């Protein structure tokens, strides 16, 4: 079991978050996803549909994943990662298209060219053979959240409990993937239930339908800030990891361009200012790791 390392997270005003109820949805009917570039059979994997090839960054994201990607009170897509993506596109004279997706379908959409990157608090560890990644830009961890009145204070207290997490998430793969790093812990649960999104998971937790949620540290910070008296985060971490932007295997040109653009944005102060904008939603510049 990994020892906990300090992460800097900032609380958010409960009233701000409580007002936002997020539900993922499909593409707008009048703005379908587009693909472009060569379809010649001899083309290398990853070429043809990338942002460098097409001049268009098509961002696949989970619209129920605050503070990285979600709908605001006006119904517009926003979030820390989406604003990073929009700035990267602007600096490279790329068109940008934000595509809310079914998270479980992300690989199919990326392979087909319906999207050409996954940018949404996307953990790279354990996925390195499946995607071409940008360099990591943000520190993260996988944690467990329980109700404050549950009496659950450690991993040992999860024995015989019902735990929920998002399908195909880093937490799910840690607990029940083919090479689950926390298989022994998972074996103590009464049940590990996958769900399409974390909003549903926390509604289930609040109602008492499940006993705990396994999720990203940033998601935990967001939810605890919204309802600080309702939840408690366990001190132990399931893992420590990094967020990066995922591209189709072989799309090194787009990955490298995004990395260098992010680095320039940080050097010019854009990233720190954006972190401050989202500080009340759990984002901290201290966790930015792309130097």
In order, the DSSP letters of 34-56 are ---S---TTSPTT-SSSHHHHSE
> What is the three-class DSSP state of 138?
strand
CA distance 6 to 19: 30
Tally of CA atoms within 13 A in the half-sphere of 119 that contains its CB: 31
- Position 119 scores a pLDDT of 98
pTM of model > 0.85 = no
Q: Give Dmax (Cα) for the chain.
A: 60
CA distance 266 to 81: 14
Are 288 and 80 in contact by the 8 Å Cβ rule? The answer is no
- Position 115 scores a pLDDT of 98
Distances (CA, A) of 77 to 73, 147, 161, 239: 10, 29, 35, 29
Please report where in the chains the tokens 């360099």 appear, as a residue.
Answer: 135
- Position 198 scores a pLDDT of 93
Return the number of other C-beta atoms located less than 10 Å from residue 76's C-beta: 10
- Position 14 scores a pLDDT of 36
- Cis link prior to 173 (omega < 30° from 0)? no
Are 39 and 49 in contact by the 8 Å Cβ rule? The answer is no
Structural domains in the chain plus CATH codes: 14-29+38-138+242-287 (3.40.190.10), 141-241 (3.40.190.10)
Over residues 53-98, the pLDDT tens digits come to: 999 999 999 999 999 999 999 999 999 999 999 999 999 999 999 9
Distances (CA, A) of 40 to 37, 55, 129, 252: 9, 19, 24, 19
- Nearby residues of 7 by Cβ (< 8 Å), 6 or more positions away: 139, 141, 217, 284, 286, 287
- Position 102 scores a pLDDT of 93
The backbone torsions φ and ψ at residue 95, rounded to the nearest 5 degrees and listed phi first, read -70, 150
- Position 25 scores a pLDDT of 30
- Position 153 scores a pLDDT of 97
Secondary structure of 110-137 in HEC code, one letter for each residue: HHHCCCCEECCCCECCCCCCCCEECCCC
Give the residues of the chain that fall short of pLDDT 50: 1-46
């Amino acid at each position: 079991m990994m020892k906990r390392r300090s992460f800097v997270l900032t609380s958010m005003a409960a009233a701000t978050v409580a007002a936002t109820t997020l539900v993922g949805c499909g593409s707008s009917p009048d703005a379908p996803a587009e693909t472009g570039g060569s379809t010649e059979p001899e083309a290398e994997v990853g070429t043809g549909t990338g942002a460098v090839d097409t001049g268009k960054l098509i961002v696949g994201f989970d619209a129920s994943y605050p503070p990285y990607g979600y709908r605001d009170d006006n119904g517009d897509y926003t979030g820390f990662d989406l604003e990073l993506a929009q700035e990267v596109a602007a600096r490279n004279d790329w068109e940008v298209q934000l595509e809310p997706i079914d998270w479980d379908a992300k690989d199919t959409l990326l392979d087909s060219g319906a999207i050409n990157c996954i940018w949404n608090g996307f953990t790279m560890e354990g996925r390195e053979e499946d995607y071409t990644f940008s360099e990591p830009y943000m520190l993260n961890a996988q944690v467990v959240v329980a109700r404050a009145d549950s009496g659950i204070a450690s991993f040992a207290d999860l024995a015989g409990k019902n735990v929920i997490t998002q399908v195909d998430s880093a937490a799910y793969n840690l607990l029940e993937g083919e090479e689950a790093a926390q298989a022994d812990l998972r074996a103590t649960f009464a049940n590990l239930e996958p769900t399409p999104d974390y909003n549903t998971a926390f509604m289930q937790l609040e109602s008492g339908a499940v006993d705990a949620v396994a999720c990203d540290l940033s998601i935990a910070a967001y939810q605890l800030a919204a309802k600080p008296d309702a939840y408690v985060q366990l001190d132990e971490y399931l893992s420590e990891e990094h967020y990066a932007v995922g591209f189709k295997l072989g799309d090194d040109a787009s990955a490298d361009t995004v990395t260098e653009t992010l680095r320039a944005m940080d050097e010019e102060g854009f990233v720190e200012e954006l972190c401050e904008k989202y500080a009340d939603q759990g984002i901290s510049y201290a966790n930015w790791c792309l130097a």
